[in-house]
């Protein structure tokens, strides 16, 4: 097993080049989501794999201005779900957690296959809904931008994004988020 390798390799790169998207890739990624754990096995996830050039072009209009780099996407995975499709236990609402886990399976598998799979929050859910015909009751949770990593840094990137292409953005120290046996125990 080499899960750790994919975890270490995964990066939210923003310099992309085109990659031909085949149905077999989509099925492979979907299978990895399908196998994910979910509360009561509710499987609350829905995905739209957008890869036709004319649909990708339409999606450009839904991207926020800092995400112009995503116009080079070969595929955009639109992650959808709704609260009622999964466990709600008092104030614990599980659909976003379960959909996040399934989506991470997709991202890690894409990484293993040598692709970039970069989730973004900078988009208009309203425009995305309109372009793709998504019903109101489904939340547009994230877009995952898929492509091939380009060694040439995208001209559209600003300083901080260029830095992030070269080096992984800094992480909190493990001792800042891990406790041993009891809350507060470092």
Ligand X SMILES: Cc1cc2nc3c(=O)[nH]c(=O)nc-3n(C[C@H](O)[C@H](O)[C@H](O)COP(=O)(O)O)c2cc1C
CA distance 39 to 103: 15
Closest alpha carbon to 20 in 112, 117, 115, 153: 115
- Cβ-based nearer residue to ligand X, 48 or 119: 119
Q: Which stretch binds ligand X (CB under 6 A): 6-14, 46-54, 85-93, 103-111?
A: 6-14
168 binds ligand X (CB under 6 A): yes
CB of 13 closer than 8 Å to CB of 142: no
Range 75-114, binding ligand X (CB under 6 A): none
172: helix, coil or strand? coil
Shortest distance, position 61 Cβ to ligand X, whole Å: 16
- Cβ-based nearer residue to ligand X, 133 or 169: 169
CB burial readout 84-97, b (16+ within 10 A) else e: ebbbeeeeeebbbb
Range 12-71, binding ligand X (CB under 6 A): 12, 14, 67
Q: How many residues touch ligand X (CB under 6 A)? A: 11
Shortest distance, position 83 Cβ to ligand X, whole Å: 18
Q: How many CB atoms lie within 10 A of CB 172?
A: 8
Q: Which residues contact 53 (CB under 8 A, 6 or more apart)?
A: none
Shortest distance, position 119 Cβ to ligand X, whole Å: 4
Binding site for ligand X (CB under 6 A): 11-12, 14, 67, 119-122, 142, 168-169
């Amino acid at each position: 097993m080499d899960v750790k390798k994919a975890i270490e390799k995964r990066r939210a790169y923003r310099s992309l080049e085109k990659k031909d998207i085949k149905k077999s890739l989509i099925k492979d990624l979907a299978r990895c989501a399908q196998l994910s754990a979910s509360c009561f096995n509710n499987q609350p996830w829905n995905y739209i794999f957008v890869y036709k050039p004319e649909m990708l072009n339409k999606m450009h209009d839904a991207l926020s201005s800092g995400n112009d780099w995503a116009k080079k996407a070969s595929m955009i995975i639109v992650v959808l779900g709704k609260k009622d499709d999964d466990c709600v236990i008092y104030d614990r609402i599980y659909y976003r957690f379960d959909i996040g886990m399934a989506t991470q399976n997709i991202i890690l598998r894409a990484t293993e296959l040598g692709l970039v799979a970069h989730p973004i929050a900078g988009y208009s859910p309203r425009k995305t809904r309109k372009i793709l015909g998504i019903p109101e009751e489904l939340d547009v949770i994230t877009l995952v931008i898929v492509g091939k990593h380009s060694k040439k840094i995208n001209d559209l990137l600003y300083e901080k994004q260029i830095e992030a292409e070269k080096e992984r953005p800094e992480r909190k120290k493990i001792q800042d988020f891990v406790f041993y046996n009891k809350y507060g125990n470092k």
